[in-house]
Amino acid sequence: MTEGAIPEHIQTKLRRLVDAKAAKTAADDAKKAADTHLETEQEACYDDLEELLGDVSSITIDIGPGYGRKTFTRQEQQYHTIYSKEMAFESLDAEALSDEATRPDFNGAFLNKMVQTRLRNNQPLPDGVGFRTKRWITVTSR
């Protein structure tokens, strides 16, 4: 079939499909850029608030015209990382946790909870298991 043999109404639909795909790609790119910008601003503000507030996790202030009164709350969460699957499996197996922690690959929810509990209780993590900390700030209007 040649291009001229494709009816105009189908070509119109195909052009709309190409336009929709381009719009989705542009929106995805814009979301990635916005997420990166937000993460950068949160990191900068987190460090500033940590220095300013110490152990206090939140502050409510009026930040000026057009913004009003806002509450800024620092939050952080630890998540597991596996830096050696073999070591982690052997260590979890030795602690009789391999059935809960693996199925057939590592169970992220179980490992995250285990890491958080052990860090909170100052207990060592199993060999092969580490953690990363995600920090962010929630903003609420008052």
Mark whether 51 and 97 lie in a shared domain: no
Mark whether 80 and 141 lie in a shared domain: yes
User: For position 96, what pLDDT does the model report?
Assistant: 80
Whether 37 is covered by a domain: the verdict is: yes
Whether 35 is covered by a domain: the verdict is: yes
User: For position 103, what pLDDT does the model report?
Assistant: 67
User: For position 104, what pLDDT does the model report?
Assistant: 66
Mark whether 82 and 135 lie in a shared domain: yes
What total number of domains does the chain contain?
2
Question: By residue range, what is the domain housing residue 117?
Answer: 75-142
Count Cβ atoms below 10 Å from residue 115 Cβ, excluding itself. Answer: 20
Whether 67 is covered by a domain: the verdict is: no
Considering the entire predicted model, what is its pTM? Answer: 0.68
| pLDDT tens, position by position, 60-93 | 999 999 999 999 999 999 999 999 888 888 888 8
| pLDDT tens, position by position, 8-25 | 999 999 999 999 999 999
> Residues of 83-104 as b/e, b for ≥16 C-beta within 10 angstroms?
eeeeebbebbeeeebbeebbee
